[in-house]
Amino acid sequence: MNNPYLPYPVRIDSVITETEDRNLKTFKLVFLNAEDEKKFAYTPGQFGILSVAGLGEIPIGIATSPTEQGFIKFTVNKVGKVTSHLHNMKAGEIMGVRGPMGNWYPWDLLEGKNVVIIGGGFAFTTLRSSIVYMIDPKNRSRFGKIDVVYGARSEGLLLYKDELAEWEKRSDINMHITVDSSSDPNWKYNVGFVPAVTRQKAPSAENAYAMICGPPIMIKFTLPVLTELGFPPERIISSLEMRMKCGIGICGRCNIGTEYVCKDGPVFTLEQLAGLPVEY
């Protein structure tokens, strides 16, 4: 019997420190057994459970896109026991990963639609996966206009800076990078909170879906902006976080009403959330 709790062994291929506060690192993982990579076939929006023997497991969004082959990446914020240990691990060390877990962004519905991506802080990981997926030459024609509003407190806290710069240069994706404030006179992008920048850039709601991921306070103030812009609740998509253990809808802790965030989520539309208790 296939054991859904058993992690696939992976080797840390590289570790990149993403932010100037050194609290976010991206781990590039390579499967020890090639067949495990096939079993780990995922879709942007899903998450994996990272396993560190001796410490425990943590659920983390998959930052890579399935269009990138040979490795998977996870960007991990240092908060607790497992993540603190993980931050001290080095390339070459062995750990584990389980998954892919949960549902994904509704790519079938997004086909032929404009996509507005709104992200804040370190919740940008599965959005990065989605952007890479959509702008892949094989996929780009399936989607309409792509707008990205991505903000962080400061320049140094933005994730994936090299890629952001590259996307800025492309014509098939509209980037709106913003920081809460900047003391850098050479800062060439936006300054201001994500909700304000969203309102200012006013991406059209016509034929569009919005995907929003970020700290609760950002989501709270951005949702009214999206409504103003004309996005109905069924076209606003968000991804939730929850404390998780099993990741497969068995251990019982991540429910919101009848729904398990790990299995029935983490991706929900605003319309779905409206029918559930506000307990997240």
Give contact residues for another protein (rule: CB under 8 A): 1-7, 9, 32, 51-58, 77, 79-81, 83-84, 93-96, 216, 241-243, 245-246, 248-258, 263, 275-277, 279-280
What burial class does residue 171 get, using C-beta atoms within 10 Å of its C-beta: 0-12 exposed, 13-18 middle, 19+ buried?
exposed
Residue whose CB is less far from another protein, 9 or 144: 9
**Hey, what long-range contacts does 181-189 have (CB within 8 A, 24 or more apart)?**
181/153, 181/154, 182/154, 182/155, 184/155, 187/155
Alpha-carbon gap, residue 21 to 118, rounded angstroms:
23
The residue among 78 and 142 lying less far from another protein, judged by its C-beta, is: 78
Q: How many CB atoms lie within 10 A of CB 221?
A: 15
The CB-of-106 to another protein minimum distance in angstroms stands at 19
State in angstroms the smallest separation of the CB of 186 from another protein. 33
Angstrom distance (rounded) from CA 78 to CA 56: 14
Task: Output the smallest distance, CB 128 to another protein, in A.
Answer: 20
Give Cα 266 distance to the centre of its chain. 11
56 vs 144, which CB is nearer to another protein? Answer: 56
Q: What are phi and psi of 184, to 5 degrees?
A: -85, 115
CB of 108 to another protein, least distance (A): 19
Q: Residue 49 and residue 61: Cα distance in Å, rounded? A: 8
Q: How far is the CB of 97 from another protein (least distance, A)?
A: 11
Choice between 203 and 249, CB closer to another protein: 249
Tell me whether residue 84 or residue 207 sits nearer to another protein (CB atom).
84
Residue 234 per-residue DSSP state: G
